[in-house]
Each structure stands twice: as C-alpha cells, then as structure tokens.
Structure 1
C-alpha cells in the first residue's frame, strides 16, 4: 500500500524517502523497540483480565475460597473492573498533568503490589481487594499507552500500531491461560496452583518498569522538535516532515488555547465532538454487550453446561482459545488499513450474531439430549464467535477512538470510552454467574415452564391433577379395549 493511501497526500509528500525497510533504518528501529514498552500495556491488561478465567478452572482455588458461585463469584470477577472505574476520573487528568510516561510507570508499580497481595491472600476480602488494586493499576497503564504510541509512532506505522495495541491483549491472555493450565496440571494438590499465576501477574509490569527509562514523553512540550527529529528523521530537525509535524502540534495547541478545550464538557460541546463521543461510548459498550464477556470471565461455566467439567480439559481449551485469538487479532491488525474500519465492524457484528444464535441453539438441544456432538459443536462455535470478535473489536477497541479524537480531547475521549467498557464489564461480571446458575427453563418440560411463569395457578403443574389425568386416560383405554373385545 502506498504512503498516500495510509497517511494522505499532504503528509506523504514530506516523508523521507527510505529505500530500506524500517528494521534496517537505525532511528526507526530504535523508535519501534521503544514503543514495545507502552505496547506491552495491553498484554498487562490481558493477563490481568484473563487470569480469573483460568483460576476458576483450578480445583484448589475453588476449594480454598469455598467454591464461590452466583453473586460471590460475580464480585470476585467484577472487582478488577470496579478498580478501573474508580481510577477513571483521575487517570485522564493525571495523564495530562504529569504526562503519559509517569502515569504508565505508576500503574505498573500498583499492579506489582497488587499481585503480591493477591498471591498472599488468605481470605475472600483480601483477594477481592487485590483485584480492585489490579483494576486501578491496569487502567493507569492502559489509558496513556495508546496515546503515547499514537503521538510518537512514525506516521506510516501509526495505524498498524494503534490496531496492534489491543491485539497484544491476547499475549497476556495466553500467558495467563497456559500458566493456569501448567499449575493445574503439576501443582493440583497445592495452593501454589493458583498463587503462582497470581505472582506471575507482576512479570510484565516489572519488564515495563525496567525499560521505562528509555521511553520518551509524548512530544507536547518544548522539546517536541528535538524528540521528533531524533526518532523520525535521524536528528534532522530541518526536514520537511518535522516542520509538518511541528506545524500540526502548534496548530493543535493554538486551538486548545483559543477554545479552552480542556474541560469534560468539551466532549459534547460541538456536533463533531458529540459524534466522536457517541461513537467511542458505543464501541466500548458494543465490545462487551455482544456475548464475549460470558466466555471472557465464565468459560468454565459455559463448558460445564455442555458436559466438560474436567479441570485439565477446561484450562487446555482456555489456553488454545487465547492462542487462536492472538493469531486472528494479529492478522486483522495488519489488514485494518487495507480493509477499512467500517467494513471490519460490520463483518464482525453479523458474524457474531449468527455464531451466537447457533451456539445458543446447540446448548439448548444439548441440555435436553446430552448429545456429545452438540457439546463439541458449542466449543467450535465459541472459537468461530471469537474469530468474528477479534477481526474488529480487538484491534479497533482503542485504536479507532484514539484516531477519531483530536489531540486536545484525546485523553478525555479515551477515558469516556474506557468508562463505558468497564462499566459494562462490572454489570456483566456480576450478573452472568447469577444468570448461569438460575436459568429458569433449564431442564424443565413445557408443562413445567408454565409453573415458572404462572406459579400455583398453573394447573398443569399440579402433581395430583397430572396423576389423576393419567389414571383417567388409562381407564378409558382399558374400557375401549374391553368394548372391542366384546364386539
């Protein structure tokens, strides 16, 4: 794809003419290596968000915490999202005031502390508190990172980086799921089967802390020209690309100063901003309220409903699913510029709808027949459903809103989207286990379903009437047979 098709003709006209691929251009190689640190924030969130799915398949974890279910399990799963929502009002301001870089560092430190508390948990309350801290830390690393990447990335790489950001979520999910599988397999008789995955949760944030020093701040201060020149044109501050980018930054700052576009009300002040905010909030809600949260948090319960209750098998399926997700999402991220955002969103929505309908139908028939083939079909459609989710919502969940908000309100716009994401997750994480434990029509005959809706007035459910009716039918049949015999 040509540069002008990626960044537009105006910017493409001032790009340096590199006849070598970026790995062989020293300043671009250095820049892309540095950007791996904020890119890793998504993997941090992936480990944090997927860990609970793995822990629920570990027998020792369930035993240690008294086989949590219903609202108790819901609180344990929702705790991380609650922590994220708690930090949302402050993370945008913190990111703007002290910078993206320091905000990222503070989040990594919080997750390390939270991981230690989680691994050392001796009671339900301590575990829930640690998950709330994980949510706070996860938000502090997740919110500034896509902005840092967008504002530092080389122009022709920006689209791929923003799309790849949330794709890296599955790298963390893979680590969490396979760690849980390994400890369930080899430490199944010990508390360490769930404490080890909790400790390893600190691994990726520690990597970020170690290499944080090398990450530059976003080019929004006086040193912007020198910083952009160092990473985009190998130190040539007079290059037309740097002049173009500095002009963009200056124009943005002037607009900020003139219009005072720093308040939260700015998100809904103009028709354009209202449209941006509406799209961002909808993307956040749609990314969760499409059925994906059922599998993301309660794959164990889903597998239970189709007869797969062995812990080793459950953790293995979870591990394979995360690898599959990473491959699909990574491939989709590379195709975003070629296929376009709108097409991917539409394709994703239609595919998920069809997949979920078939998945639900097979689950219902399995419940009535216990046919093994239907259980296997459900598992297949879990993967098919995720395929359609991954082609759009994984690469574009944060990438698309980051692109549509202007510099002046990008931080607050992204915060608004994340509020919609984690607000939706809190509801789903709490409600789903209660719903899965209380499916009103599960295992009921058509006559028994009437009792669920009509209560005691449902005469079809009266055992005495049913028995009397059956006896009456039997007597009538005997009478008919006797009459035929006499005739």
Structure 2
C-alpha cells in the first residue's frame, strides 16, 4: 500500500475520501482521466517529429526530392523545428496567463494541423523548412500549457503518475511516425514521405475533437477571481458532485485553499525580483539544480538518437533503408515501454533514484556505442 501522505502531502491525505473502488469504477474519475488524454497527447507531436526526421533521412525518395541535404543544410532542416520553439517560448507564457491554458492549447493544435498539411504538400526544401518551423511554434503552444493542465486537473493521488507519463507519450508519437514510414518506404514516389508528413496532424486532430469537453485550469480561474467556476470544476471531477449549490467537499475545500495560498505566495515572490534566485546559498543551490536538470535533459545525447539516428547507423555500417527504418520503429517501442515503466514507478522509487540510474544506463550505452563506431571506422565492419 502506497502512503498517500508521501504522495500528495499530509493536508490532502487527511481529506481524501476513503473508497475500496478502483478509479475506473468511479464515473467522475473515469471521465476526468479520459479528458486528461487531450493535454497528454501534446507531447506526441514532438515525438512524431523526432522520429519522422530520423525515418525521412533513410528514404531515398525524400533525399532525392530535396536534393539529398547534408551538413549544414541538413542541420538547418532538423533545427528549424527547434527554432520555431525558441520563437514561441518568450510569448507563450504571457498568453497562458492572459487568455488561459485551454485557448492557448487550442491555438497550438490548429497551428500543427495546418503546418502538417502544408508540409505534406511541400514542393521545395524552403517550404518544408518553414512548415517544420511552424510545427515547432505550434508545438510549444500545445505542450507548454499541457503539463499545467494535467497537474492541476489530475486527481491528487494520480498526479505524480500523470505528470511523469506526460513525456512517455512522446514515444507514442514516435511509434506512429516510425512505423508509418516503415510502411511507406517502398512507395516508389514522393508519397512515401508525404503521407508520414501529413499524418503529423493525427494526434492533434484527436485533441481537436475532444478539447471542447476539457475544463479550464482551476488555478487560472482563481487568479482571475472566478472562484465559483474553479470550485465547480473541482467538485465535479474530484468529488463527483455536480450540484452547484452543494457544500464543498473537504478535499475540494483544501485544494482551493492550497491554490489560493500558492497564488498569494507567487504574487509576493514577484515583488522580490530575480536577484532572490542567487541571494542566499540555499537559493543558489536550488537555482543551479533547476538549471542543471533542464540542461542535462537536453544534453544527454537523446537528440542525437532522435534526429540523427540515420547518421549514427551509417557510422556503424548499417545503411539499408529497410534495416534503418525497422531499427527506428523497434527503438520507439522500447522507449515507450521504458518510459511507461518509469512513470509507474515514480511514486515508489522516487524521481531522484530513477534519474540517477537512467543516467548511469545512458553512460554505459554511449561508451558501447562509441566503441562500436571506432571499430567500424578501423575495420569497416
């Protein structure tokens, strides 16, 4: 039995309703968890793009149509998605605070759908690059508000698993793109790469169909002095109470109090200024950890495998399009199951333990990979 106090904190653990039912036997929790799949799928757009570019580089049809881009030009094609992300980052936070998380998510979904359709119709490399830039721009508008929606809307005891599982669905996108491209690789014309490009809109279209049933973020509503709406959402999805005139359940009352306190603390923190991040030894340590964790997540080499697997496989002597696309597809399946396992274990083993052990595993993998590349360079096999 997992200790709820260790997961949600003592204050929430004391007011959690006691039940012997599984979550899917509770209608309000079943509905909530199905609705949460809408923001959960936002990470799939990034996963789809990462595996898509891996697979497209293995297709002779794509290389031939766009003049076999290499070196700096290939790097530009791949980096264009990240450039779109960088353009969107400075403004998306303000948009979320001003208009709410749900509208921003909707805008991101629409941009990705439009960009995927145009990318599938690209007639030259500049057009393809611009579409990838738009995918990155829309991807930030889709992915930035989604973790907040998940963390706020998820039932307290489910929150850790859901937030950890968010990037697990990155590989759901990778699975779709890798196996789609594996299936279209033998099409003898440019539809071999146009079909996977168009299907990049697949998961966003699913989100578009069901986003209308998703509520707004309670924290945002409280910050806008719309307390009654925030309470109604939490009552419906956390307590199963649909009567707007009913008394607040102890759980919802506690959650609203915590949200109000967090907003007050945030407002007070905004008055302090950025200097507070490094003003004391404790703050400096926390700031360094926060920056380092983000950097480590991006500099751990995963992007090499995500976007340049084709080049990596060529470096170890694997050059067949069939073999490369097959490896790409199998790798995404392995990644998905590994990430899902970690998400399910996060409340039992802790985030730090999983972080350290996965880092050790990646280090060992890169040592083996480097050795294999060196042997192939010297012997050709």
TM-score range, shorter chain: over 0.9
1:37 correspondence with 2:47: no
Distance across 1 between alignment mates of 2:279 and 2:44: 35
Q: Secondary structure at the match of 1:66?
A: coil
Instruction: Tell me the TM-score normalised to structure 2 length.
Output: 0.92
Query: What does residue 119 of structure 2 align with?
Result: 118
Distance across 2 between alignment mates of 1:84 and 1:237: 44
Q: Where does structure 1 differ by over 4 angstroms across 4 or more consecutive aligned residues? A: 269-277
* Structure of higher CA gyration radius: 1
Contact 2:316-2:372 within 8 A present in 1 as well? no
Contact 1:31-1:153 within 8 A present in 2 as well? yes
Deviation (angstroms), 1:207:
1.0
Distance across 1 between alignment mates of 2:76 and 2:296: 22
Instruction: Summarize the alignment of residues 75-224 of structure 1 with structure 2, pairs less than 5 Å apart.
Output: 75-185=76-186, 187=187, 189-220=188-219, 221=221, 222=226, 223-224=229-230
Query: Over residues 166-187 of structure 1, what are the superposed CA-to-partner deviations in whole Å (9 max), with x where a residue is unaligned?
Result: 00100000001001111103x1
Contact 1:108-1:206 within 8 A present in 2 as well? yes
Query: What does residue 440 of structure 1 align with?
Result: none
Query: What does residue 2 of structure 1 align with?
Result: 3
Contact 1:225-1:237 within 8 A present in 2 as well? no
Contact 2:28-2:238 within 8 A present in 1 as well? yes
Query: Over residues 137-193 of structure 1, what are the superposed CA-to-partner deviations in whole Å (9 max), with x where a residue is unaligned?
Result: 1111111000110011110000000000000100000001001111103x1x11000
- Alpha carbons of 1:317 and 1:267: their partners in 2 closer, same or farther (altered >3 Å)? farther
Query: What does residue 65 of structure 2 align with?
Result: 64
Contact 1:266-1:273 within 8 A present in 2 as well? no
Deviation (angstroms), 1:69:
0.6
Deviation (angstroms), 1:269:
6.9
Contact 1:256-1:262 within 8 A present in 2 as well? no
- Alpha carbons of 1:9 and 1:78: their partners in 2 closer, same or farther (altered >3 Å)? same
Q: Secondary structure at the match of 1:242?
A: helix
Distance across 1 between alignment mates of 2:108 and 2:76: 22
Query: Over residues 462-485 of structure 1, what are the superposed CA-to-partner deviations in whole Å (9 max), with x where a residue is unaligned?
Result: xxxxxxxxxxxxxxxxxxxxxxxx
Q: Secondary structure at the match of 1:217?
A: coil
RMSD: 1.8
Query: What does residue 246 of structure 1 align with?
Result: 256
Contact 1:40-1:204 within 8 A present in 2 as well? yes
Distance across 2 between alignment mates of 1:62 and 1:274: 48
Contact 1:46-1:173 within 8 A present in 2 as well? yes
Deviation (angstroms), 1:262:
10
Query: What does residue 227 of structure 1 align with?
Result: 233
Deviation (angstroms), 1:307:
1.5
- Alpha carbons of 1:50 and 1:261: their partners in 2 closer, same or farther (altered >3 Å)? farther
Contact 1:41-1:141 within 8 A present in 2 as well? yes
Instruction: Tell me the TM-score normalised to structure 1 length.
Output: 0.73
Contact 1:267-1:277 within 8 A present in 2 as well? no
1:299 correspondence with 2:299: no
Distance across 2 between alignment mates of 1:192 and 1:41: 26
Query: What does residue 361 of structure 2 align with?
Result: 351
Deviation (angstroms), 1:240:
1.1
Instruction: Summarize the alignment of residues 246-325 of structure 1 with structure 2, pairs less than 5 Å apart.
Output: 246-260=256-270, 265=274, 268=277, 271=280, 275-325=285-335
* Structure 2, gaps ≥5 residues long: none
Distance across 2 between alignment mates of 1:365 and 1:14: 61
Deviation (angstroms), 1:226:
1.2
Deviation (angstroms), 1:126:
0.7
- Alpha carbons of 1:145 and 1:261: their partners in 2 closer, same or farther (altered >3 Å)? farther
Distance across 2 between alignment mates of 1:353 and 1:99: 41
Deviation (angstroms), 1:10:
2.2
Contact 1:108-1:209 within 8 A present in 2 as well? yes
Contact 2:51-2:328 within 8 A present in 1 as well? no
Query: What does residue 376 of structure 1 align with?
Result: none
1:361 correspondence with 2:371: yes
Task: Figure out how many residues of one structure are paired with residues of the other and give that number.
Answer: 368
Q: Secondary structure at the match of 2:166?
A: helix
Deviation (angstroms), 1:302:
1.0
Structure 1, 345-354 or 311-320: larger mean CA deviation: 345-354
Contact 1:27-1:232 within 8 A present in 2 as well? yes
Distance across 2 between alignment mates of 1:273 and 1:266: 10
